[in-house]
């Protein structure tokens, strides 16, 4: 997986996923930046998995899939027809199945962009293996912190954030007509020596809309 960071205005973007520790997310789908702890620092959420077989003891088909992809590429180079390289290997199992969701947090000072990130999903209960697809952070219970809803292949999962109460600010951003959402607007808040910036977007992540 990749993560591009922006330099000074006009400079090229730099791919730094491996350097920051967020390169291994397996079969990634929906992902979001969210402040789960309410401390002003954005964490990174990624939901994973493709197709898990109902029997977890069965193997995974991904190695056979990549054998086919490589042979198809070779066929194009050699100018021959493609073939089913797995025809003699009937298989019934998962395809990138039982992959766990990721929840990356920054080590130590969350405001330092050079700090390595760590997967803390197992520690906070966000490491399910439910073949997730789309997701959206939202304050469903109105208590000021962000909860999380995830669409999986078998239905929705809802995670309530039970972190200790933190300071929160709720704004409704609209155009001059008082009704139309001010899409693209940015809000900056200075509090306790820290500046926090957030923007209003209609679409974030895979197959999800936030408003």
pLDDT by residue for the chain (211 residues), tens only, comes to: 999 988 777 888 999 999 889 998 889 998 999 888 888 888 999 999 999 999 988 888 888 888 899 999 999 999 999 999 988 887 788 988 999 999 999 876 655 666 789 999 999 999 999 999 999 998 888 888 899 999 999 999 999 999 887 788 888 899 999 889 898 899 999 987 888 888 888 777 888 876 5
pLDDT at 10: 81
Under a CB-based contact definition with an 8 Å cutoff, are residues 93 and 50 in contact? no
Among candidate residues 170, 18, 210, the one with its CA nearest the CA of residue 4: 18
pLDDT at 205: 80
**Diameter over CA atoms, the chain:** 66
pLDDT at 5: 87
Question: What is the DSSP code (8-state) at residue 115?
Answer: S
pLDDT at 88: 87
pLDDT at 211: 56
3-class SS of residue 159: strand
pLDDT at 100: 95
3-class SS of residue 129: coil
Dihedrals phi, psi of 77, to nearest 5 degrees: -65, -35
3-class SS of residue 134: strand
Among candidate residues 40, 35, 41, 33, the one with its CA nearest the CA of residue 115: 41
pLDDT at 210: 63
pLDDT at 156: 94
pLDDT at 170: 86
What does the alpha-carbon distance between residue 114 and residue 116 come to, in Å, rounded to a whole number? 6
3-class SS of residue 121: helix
What does the alpha-carbon distance between residue 143 and residue 165 come to, in Å, rounded to a whole number? 8
Exposed e or buried b for every residue in 32-53, given b needs 16+ CB within 10 A?
bebbbbbbbbbbbbbbbbbebb
For the chain, the 3-state helix, strand and coil shares in percent, each to the nearest 5, are 10, 25, 60
């Amino acid at each position: 997986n990749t993560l591009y960071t922006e330099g000074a205005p006009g400079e090229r973007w730099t791919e730094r996923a491996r350097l920051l520790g967020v390169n291994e997310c397996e079969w990634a789908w929906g992902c979001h930046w969210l402040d789960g702890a309410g401390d002003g620092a954005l964490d990174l959420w990624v939901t994973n998995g493709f197709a898990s077989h109902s029997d977890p003891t069965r193997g995974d088909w991904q190695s056979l899939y990549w054998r086919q992809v490589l042979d198809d590429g070779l066929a194009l180079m050699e100018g021959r027809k493609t073939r089913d390289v797995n025809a003699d290997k009937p298989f019934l199992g998962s395809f990138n199945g039982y992959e766990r969701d990721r929840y990356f947090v920054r080590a130590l000072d969350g405001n330092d962009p050079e700090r390595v990130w760590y997967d803390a999903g197992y520690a906070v209960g966000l490491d399910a293996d439910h073949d997730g697809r789309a997701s959206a952070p939202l304050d469903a219970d109105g208590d000021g912190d962000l909860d999380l809803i995830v669409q999986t292949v078998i239905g929705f999962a809802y995670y309530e954030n039970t972190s200790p109460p933190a300071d929160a600010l709720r704004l409704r951003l609209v155009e001059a007509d008082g009704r139309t959402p001010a899409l693209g607007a940015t809000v900056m808040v200075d509090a306790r020596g820290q500046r926090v910036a957030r923007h209003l977007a209609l679409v974030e992540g895979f197959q999800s809309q936030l408003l």
